[in-house]
Structure 1
């Protein structure tokens, strides 16, 4: 249970929160394992953002949906293997209910029993740009991040079976609010990276994918996956999941309609990560762009705008390196000031981003100084994490249970009490690439094998095989460190 120091008298009309914003931020910025916050958002207007309400607010505005097969095979359904349609939320809800109106609508080619649909990664600042007052329905200030609202958040709306392939985010940590329906999260610690067979194909800035379909792992091809330690949690409406930095996650919707909202929190470590990402982009774009265009290898994720030129990528790299050293100098200066004044507060501001938009300048890699400096918080100074009914650990799966088996942490915190006692735009800078849509019933894109790996009978190595080695996260980390050491002044 939280101590008395984490409580404060509620203001008139304010719900009592189990943790103060200061205590919550301390937990978020220092906890290195996933956990679920309960009873923290009961007064947030965003809890009313179910799909029907959002449909009324959007009032006929179309958004992009990603469609995939509910059939689970051995290959992950990367975004390059999915189909896309533009539709209204009203049309999506009608399709998910099996209404006859869908026979001629944008979902007419996709039988609900066979397909799932996902309006994923929707920038709230963009889809509600004409209704900025709605941003205040989301109050991340309760988690210790004043000024952060829906403007720095993204929206996810899916049908049953909708999922995100297993991946890790290069930047920041993640706070996820579940609004409608339930989602099941399969999380793996950073130490499991080699067991998850990381790849940068398909390429997406700041997302490192796993070659393994954790819903149906091919253990013949990926035997080391047996060594992973899955942490599984079913997130219910009103709960907020903390996904710490570099934790892998596979996410699936398990109810007919799900709605969730998330925001990525900047960390000091993002500065070095951006150097690594700049190096990765240079290598991937240079090598893949030099290939025969007729090869048909769908290597660029639909979330990316284009394969940027070597000149532009070099600008990205230099900006990233420059910002890294700027942050380093600011940190040294601040520590000196802190030691003389006794203050531990950081006042610099930062923004991180993930996606780039058509027409975006190389600011996509713009690195400003970090706003929240708790990542350097000394572990010995942190009080014992107050696990209990308001903060629930996401526990590892038992070894004998498959990664898709029983849920380690379920929705009702009461069942876990005995067991558990003891700058701003984030990834919001730019929109996803707007794909050219077609309502024609063509061969589904999921039939394209985007993995690019040779069959067992083949002996020749592909470009992707080379890239998998060159841009392996461990290799890129070493290259970044060598490069920064060479540049250090």
Structure 2
């Protein structure tokens, strides 16, 4: 733990900005770097409940929980706080479902035990699982349609990962530490499997609390770019799309609320699907073919869209021009037919 503290103590803090909730939608319009907002959610009922005690916050949630089973991850007693792989590259936790009052009762019963098992409810949709919780604890994001999720649990460490949407993450109860890396550091973070992940996104294989620099030497370069955000109840951090973040719940009981949103049109496909398809169709081709295809991707995808189609009459450009919902639908239908063969 001393080694971990030394690492975090050396990292610079994420910049802080005095943003009030009513100005948030405009501030994130052009934001391309993380920033911390102190006290932006200080008046939330959930935050105020947690300041009374963890039990008051748990009672607040139970009173608003819908009558349905909640998904929960449970670790072994004494196995630590890290949600990660086990030695066989399976998961070091078990997944279960149960009523919220029973799950939170288990957290309460184990709260003071030194070998307490990790108990973690991750990415719970606030509208689907609670009545009125989302409406009472929210932030104004303008016309953006955000996915509003709540994360509830004991002390936890979530490996560094990134998300495609932008993210406003609010520390509602307990304390959180975010260690954030720029998008271009993904190779230096040694991402694990794409198709076998703890929570749907590839995660860094490096343990930030005990980095093995012999096994992961480029991680030293990643640390040179890292920043830390320490959040108290009511504080929030903005994490732009594709920025990597390692997340820790530092208190015996922690709640995070996050808002994922994207300004891209909803009819666009998912880049993750394109990556998987490229691995299937391109990665193992001969190098000479891959070089040609790389140039084609630069021409059609990563280059100037107007320039790549300038020689085609405007009315005949189809998917080579600016995408429309109709063109996107045609591409999706074509892919479905092709992949089903």
TM-score range, shorter chain: 0.5 to 0.7
In 2: Cα distance, 1:219 partner to 1:270 partner = 41
Which residue does 2:135 correspond to in 1?
Answer: 136
Q: Which of 240, 254, 259 is 1:258 aligned to?
A: 254
Cα offset, 1:244, TM superposition: 1.6
Q: Deviations over 1:126-165 (max 9, x none)?
A: 212xx3x443113322xx425757xx300100101x2322
Which residue does 1:158 correspond to in 2?
Answer: 153
In 2: Cα distance, 1:60 partner to 1:47 partner = 23
Residues 47 and 234, structure 2, Cα contact 8 Å, conserved in 1 = yes
Cα offset, 1:45, TM superposition: 3.5
Which residue does 2:36 correspond to in 1?
Answer: 36
Which residue does 1:320 correspond to in 2?
Answer: none
2:58 is the alignment partner of 1:51 = yes
Task: Please give the residue correspondences for 1:88-99 in structure 2 after superposition, counting only pairs within 5 Å.
Answer: 88-98=99-109
Cα offset, 1:29, TM superposition: 2.8
In 1: Cα distance, 2:204 partner to 2:260 partner = 21
Cα offset, 1:72, TM superposition: 7.3
Cα offset, 1:256, TM superposition: 0.8
Secondary structure at the counterpart of residue 150 of structure 2? strand
Q: 1:252 to 1:136 in 2, by over 3 A?
A: same
Query: What CA RMSD, in Å, does the superposition of the two structures yield over aligned residues?
Result: 3.8
Which residue does 1:118 correspond to in 2?
Answer: 120
Task: Please give the residue correspondences for 1:289-308 in structure 2 after superposition, counting only pairs within 5 Å.
Answer: none
Q: 1:240 to 1:125 in 2, by over 3 A?
A: same
Which residue does 2:177 correspond to in 1?
Answer: 184
Residues 76 and 165, structure 1, Cα contact 8 Å, conserved in 2 = no
Compare 221-230 and 477-486 and name the one that shifted more: 477-486
Residues 173 and 266, structure 1, Cα contact 8 Å, conserved in 2 = yes
In 2: Cα distance, 1:264 partner to 1:96 partner = 27
Which residue does 2:272 correspond to in 1?
Answer: 277
Secondary structure at the counterpart of residue 162 of structure 2? strand
Secondary structure at the counterpart of residue 210 of structure 1? coil
Q: Which of 219, 222, 229 is 2:213 aligned to?
A: 219
Q: 1:35 to 1:166 in 2, by over 3 A?
A: same
Q: 1:477 to 1:138 in 2, by over 3 A?
A: farther
Q: Deviations over 1:85-121 (max 9, x none)?
A: 223333333323336xxxxxxxxxxx97153111001
Cα offset, 1:235, TM superposition: 1.3
Which residue does 1:453 correspond to in 2?
Answer: none
Residues 195 and 224, structure 1, Cα contact 8 Å, conserved in 2 = yes
In 1: Cα distance, 2:171 partner to 2:265 partner = 27
TM-score by length of 2: 0.65
Secondary structure at the counterpart of residue 263 of structure 2? coil
Q: 1:154 to 1:64 in 2, by over 3 A?
A: same
In 2: Cα distance, 1:479 partner to 1:164 partner = 37
Secondary structure at the counterpart of residue 260 of structure 1? strand
Secondary structure at the counterpart of residue 39 of structure 1? coil
Q: Deviations over 1:2-31 (max 9, x none)?
A: xxxxxxxxxxxxxxx95473x432322323
Cα offset, 1:60, TM superposition: 6.4
Residues 80 and 118, structure 2, Cα contact 8 Å, conserved in 1 = no
Q: 1:147 to 1:33 in 2, by over 3 A?
A: closer
Q: Deviations over 1:430-483 (max 9, x none)?
A: xxxxxxxxxxxxxxxxxxxxxxxxxxxxxxxxxxxx89xx9xxxxx99885455
Which residue does 2:142 correspond to in 1?
Answer: 145
Q: 1:91 to 1:280 in 2, by over 3 A?
A: same
Secondary structure at the counterpart of residue 178 of structure 1? strand
Q: Which of 180, 186, 201 is 1:207 aligned to?
A: 201
Q: Which of 224, 237, 242 is 2:238 aligned to?
A: 242
Residues 213 and 220, structure 2, Cα contact 8 Å, conserved in 1 = yes
Secondary structure at the counterpart of residue 29 of structure 1? coil
Cα offset, 1:125, TM superposition: 2.1
Secondary structure at the counterpart of residue 96 of structure 1? helix
Q: 1:139 to 1:225 in 2, by over 3 A?
A: same
Secondary structure at the counterpart of residue 135 of structure 1? helix
2:92 is the alignment partner of 1:85 = no
In 2: Cα distance, 1:94 partner to 1:477 partner = 54
Which residue does 2:316 correspond to in 1?
Answer: none
In 2: Cα distance, 1:138 partner to 1:478 partner = 48
2:203 is the alignment partner of 1:197 = no
Which residue does 1:297 correspond to in 2?
Answer: none
Q: 1:223 to 1:41 in 2, by over 3 A?
A: same
Cα offset, 1:231, TM superposition: 1.1
